[in-house]
């Protein structure tokens, strides 16, 4: 898998996780939110390592 493919997949997953986190937060599903946050942080670290600027796409801001 190329760096570009990894980046695209991670960005897609990052957006999806943020949507789920927002829903879990609104529903006060703290356990679900905590699990999603772990994946969110791993994806955020990966994207940062790949050089992606998350300023505009990171909706969670944690």
List C-alpha distances in Å: 15 to 19, 25. 6, 15
60 near 23, Cβ under 8 Å?
no
Residue 62: pLDDT over 80: no
State the pLDDT confidence band at 1, using cuts at 50, 70 and 90.
Answer: confident
State the pLDDT confidence band at 61, using cuts at 50, 70 and 90.
Answer: confident
| φ/ψ of residue 28, rounded to 5 | 60, 40
Q: Which residue has the tokens 């801001």?
A: 61
3-53 tens-digit pLDDT = 999 999 999 999 999 999 999 999 999 999 999 999 999 999 999 999 999
50 near 6, Cβ under 8 Å?
yes
Name the residue ranges covered by the structural domains of the chain.
3-49
pTM listed for this prediction: 0.86
């Amino acid at each position: 898998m190329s760096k570009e493919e990894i980046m695209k997949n991670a960005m897609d997953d990052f957006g999806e996780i943020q949507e789920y986190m927002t829903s879990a937060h609104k529903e006060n599903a703290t356990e679900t939110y905590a699990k999603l946050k772990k994946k969110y942080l791993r994806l955020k670290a990966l994207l940062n390592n790949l050089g992606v600027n998350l300023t505009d796409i990171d909706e969670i801001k944690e």
